[in-house]
């Protein structure tokens, strides 16, 4: 048997990494920070040694997992940030894309939940750079859309309310295995209708 080519090795590595990341998401939803490399190997149907070859401990695995999730999140919301339309429409589109991605890709939900929890389950300061990148690539652009589109006195608080609502809805959907039942359009419309009504009420009262 002839040795594998570099391309074949790269394809195998990519396939295994995808298996590991998908398994890590599934195990994390079940066990949280208590997950172990062995759990991921079993879920991925790979040998323990195979997973250990890539990740010597679970913290290395989770760090890679969350960075990968950040890239997936950015790709998901990019059409809203670069598309046409006013800031308010972009903010709504951003929210729809984010909620839909959360329910389709558990790694994105785990990232958002972990950021919302301020990485409190993770030891040390290894996620400071990840948090800074999340702020720069996901959170701050969304806050800018809110600031321009709603003219909110506190766009950060409004953005936090929206993010919290989306993560909460995604959590219900994922943990109760509601799958296709989630009404992304209805949820986002409800959130933004409430925010706009509140802002109009504040304008009238002033």
10: CATH: 1.10.10.60
Is residue 194 in some structural domain?
yes
Q: Do 116 and 89 fall within a single domain? A: yes
Is residue 176 in some structural domain?
yes
- Residue 22 near residue 29 (C-beta atoms within 8 A): no
Range of the domain at 83: 66-205
Q: Do 42 and 81 fall within a single domain? A: no
pLDDT one-digit tens code per residue, 130-183: 999 999 999 999 999 999 988 777 899 999 999 999 999 999 888 876 655 789
Q: How many domains does the chain have?
A: 2
Q: Do 52 and 83 fall within a single domain? A: no
What's the whole-model pTM score?
0.88
Render the burial of 41-76: b for 16+ CB within 10 Å, e for the rest. Answer: bebbebeeeebbeebeebeebbbbbbebbbebbeeb
pLDDT one-digit tens code per residue, 117-139: 888 877 767 789 999 999 999 99
Domain boundary residue among 29, 56, 83?
56
Q: Do 5 and 94 fall within a single domain? A: no
165: CATH: 1.10.357
Residue 204: pLDDT band by 50, 70, 90 thresholds?
very low
The four Cα atoms 92, 113, 165, 132 give a dihedral, to 10 degrees, of -50
Q: Do 172 and 90 fall within a single domain? A: yes
Q: Do 192 and 101 fall within a single domain? A: yes
Whole-angstrom distance, CA of residue 9 vs CA of residue 22: 20
Is residue 61 in some structural domain?
no
- What residues have CB less than 8 Å from 156, skipping those under 6 apart? 143
Q: Do 16 and 108 fall within a single domain? A: no
- Residue 85 near residue 97 (C-beta atoms within 8 A): no
Is residue 16 in some structural domain?
yes
């Amino acid at each position: 048997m002839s040795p594998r080519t570099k391309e074949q090795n790269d394809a195998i590595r990519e396939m295994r990494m995808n298996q590991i990341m998908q398994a890590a998401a599934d195990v994390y939803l079940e066990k949280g920070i208590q997950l172990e490399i062995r759990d991921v190997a079993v879920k991925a149907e790979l040998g323990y040694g195979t997973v250990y070859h890539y990740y010597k401990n679970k913290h290395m695995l989770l760090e890679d997992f969350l960075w990968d999730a950040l890239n997936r999140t950015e790709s998901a919301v990019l059409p809203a940030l670069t598309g046409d339309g006013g800031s308010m429409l972009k903010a709504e589109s951003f929210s729809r894309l984010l909620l839909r991605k959360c329910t389709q890709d558990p790694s994105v939900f785990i990232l958002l939940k972990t950021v919302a929890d301020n990485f409190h389950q993770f030891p040390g300061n290894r996620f400071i750079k990840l948090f800074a990148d999340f702020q720069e690539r996901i959170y701050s652009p969304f806050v800018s859309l809110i600031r321009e589109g709603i003219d909110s006195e506190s766009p950060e608080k409004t953005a936090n309310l929206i993010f919290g609502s989306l993560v909460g809805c995604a959590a219900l959907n994922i943990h109760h295995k509601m799958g296709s039942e989630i009404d992304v359009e209805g949820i986002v419309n409800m959130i933004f209708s409430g925010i706009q009504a509140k802002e109009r009420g504040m304008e009238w009262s002033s």
